[in-house]
Amino acid sequence: MVRRRQIPGTENPCRRFISNMSGTRTGRISTMPLALAAIGGMFLMATPLSAQSGSASRLSVIVTPQGSAAKDRPLPVGALVTLNATVRNETKDAVGPVSLSVQFEGMKGDNQANWKVEAGKITGEIAKIEPGASVGRLLRLRVEKAPFPASKKTITVEAAAGEKIRGTGTANILVADCAGAFREKLSVLRSGVLQTVRDTAEAMRRPDPSLPGSRIFPGTNARRGEIMNAERLAAPLTVRGAADAQMATEWMRFLVIRWVSELTNYSNQPVNPGLCANNYYQIAGYREGLLPITKRLDAFKESTAHALTAARFSGKDAVASDVRELVLRLAKSVEIEGIDENASVFSLLTVIRAAILRGRKLDNEQMETLSLAETAAWLGETNKRGQALTGAIEKVLGTIAEVHKESCVCAF
């Protein structure tokens, strides 16, 4: 067997250490196990107790929103936020007592079981948690203030068992001041939209001095049907400059004033979560409050359409877009002189009437067409004001519905 020669200075230091411990390189009973055991004993005594078990020195905390807080829609001011805080002992030893503390903003704590509310802070305690076990605590907070649009608020629960064994869990809650935003946007009603309703209602009561003082052509004296209704509805308009006598009654005036007053108060009421509730029924209620007026306005609209349809049929003119064009086309067809194509329908009727008085002959169908056209013209003047009032009413109710949809996005 060939021996390898050891070059001086290149000896393995570990081997040298083992040789020194054994007292010889070869040929002796080694005492190394005893020495290593002694060294190992010194290391073992210096190791912390928690590391002896090989366990993780931590607690895991899971904060889970419950009920409305778990939904995607934000919670409004005043809403109750319910959460479940679960603490799990991840170590291999029992821990306790475990102190709990809650951090939050824009909310306040209510007195509740297992938690202590003091000076705006919420704390709690779990007496003991076995290794691998979990203990849950139900936590309730109330939204005190919130911005708009919606934003996330973080709720943090910290658990601690001494200085080293700790854990933290968080939950994000969407909150929004829906009612506050809704009320703020309703201010547009007070800035002029409601006043427009009063102004247009008042316009229906005022006569137009530019209109004739009476009918130019007599009515057809229909005894039944839609034309009879149209002529009866138009009759008082012809002596009042298209002003509606019914809209001038104290009852109708009161309806408009009360309606505007109620909606002014509605848009100016203090903020509360209920402001966003049942908006559909509120709008339906306000619409119903003006039902006597809106039915009256609908009657003018329908009778105007019926009279114009009858005039087109009588004149065999389905091309004319409105009553003025119908009368203008008829005047041209019978060669009435002195016609101004830009004149109003009443001016055209007046010129045709003057031509007849001077001897111009028209047949019965043409006279009936002019009579129906004038009925449609009078109703149309009042209907024009009525549609302005209808538009103002719908503007108010539409604004409420629109800003409600934009603002009231909370869970309730």
pLDDT, tens only, 190-218? 888 999 999 999 999 999 999 999 999 99
Residues in contact with 50: Cβ distance below 8 Å, sequence separation at least 6, in sequence order: 57, 91, 164
- Output the pLDDT for position 52: 26
24 vs 294: CA distance, rounded Å: 118
Strand partners, 169: 157
Q: What residue spans of 152-249 are helical by DSSP H?
A: 178-185, 187-188, 194-203, 225-234
User: Cβ distance 45 to 31 under 8 Å?
Assistant: no
Question: Residue 14: which residues within 8 A CB-CB, separation 6 or more?
Answer: none
Check residue 57 and give its pLDDT: 59
pLDDT digits (tens, 9 = 90+) for 25-47: 333 333 333 333 333 333 333 32
Residue 396: predicted pLDDT:
97
**pLDDT number for residue 280:** 86
Domains of the chain: residue spans and CATH: 59-176 (2.60.40.10), 181-407 (no CATH)
DSSP at 336: -
What would the mean pLDDT of 100-106 be, rounded to a whole number? 94
Q: How confident is the model at residue 141 (pLDDT cuts 50, 70, 90)?
A: very high
Distance of CA 197 to the CA centre of its chain: 25
Q: Which residue has the higher pLDDT, 109 or 388?
A: 388
Whether residue 50 is predicted with pLDDT greater than 80 in this model: the reply is no
**Residue 143 to residue 153: CA distance in whole angstroms:** 10
pLDDT confidence of residue 211: 97
pLDDT at 40: 39
Lowest mean pLDDT among 20-29, 109-118, 324-333, 386-395: 20-29
- Which of these ranges, 76-90, 105-119, 174-188, 342-356, has the smallest mean pLDDT? 105-119
What was the pLDDT predicted at 61?
97
pLDDT for the residue numbered 38 = 36
* Residue showing tokens 């081997």: 15
Instruction: Please give the pLDDT value at position 120.
Output: 83
Share of the chain above pLDDT 70, in %: 86
Tokens of 336: 């009435």
Read off the pLDDT of each residue in 61-77 and give the average, rounded to a whole number: 93
pLDDT mean over 309-335: 95
Q: How far is CA 211 from CA 86, 204, 243, 356, in A?
A: 81, 14, 11, 21
> Which of 2-6, 254-258, 306-310, 359-363 is predicted with the least confidence, judged by mean pLDDT?
2-6
Of 80-94, 125-139, 244-258, 270-284, the poorest mean pLDDT is in 270-284
Predicted confidence (pLDDT) at residue 7 exceeds the cutoff of 90:
no
By percentage, how much of the chain surpasses pLDDT 90?
A: 75
| DSSP-assigned letters across all residues of 344-375 | -HHHHHHHHHHHHHTT----HHHHHHHHHHHH
d(CA 408, CA 155): 24
Lowest mean pLDDT among 109-113, 201-205, 346-350: 109-113
109-118, 200-209, 225-234: least confident range: 109-118
How far, in Å, CA of 306 to CA of 226, rounded?
Answer: 7
Structure tokens that stand for 80 in this block: 């109750």
Is the predicted pLDDT of residue 244 greater than 60, yes or no?
Answer: yes
pLDDT of residue 111: 79
Name the amino acid, one letter, at 257. Answer: I
Residue 183 has pLDDT above 50, yes or no: yes
Please state the φ and ψ torsions of residue 327, each to the nearest 5 degrees: -65, -40
Q: How far apart are CA 160 and CA 129, in angstroms?
A: 12
- H or E segment at 84? strand 80-89
Q: What is the DSSP code string of 315-330?
A: TT-S--SSHHHHHHHH
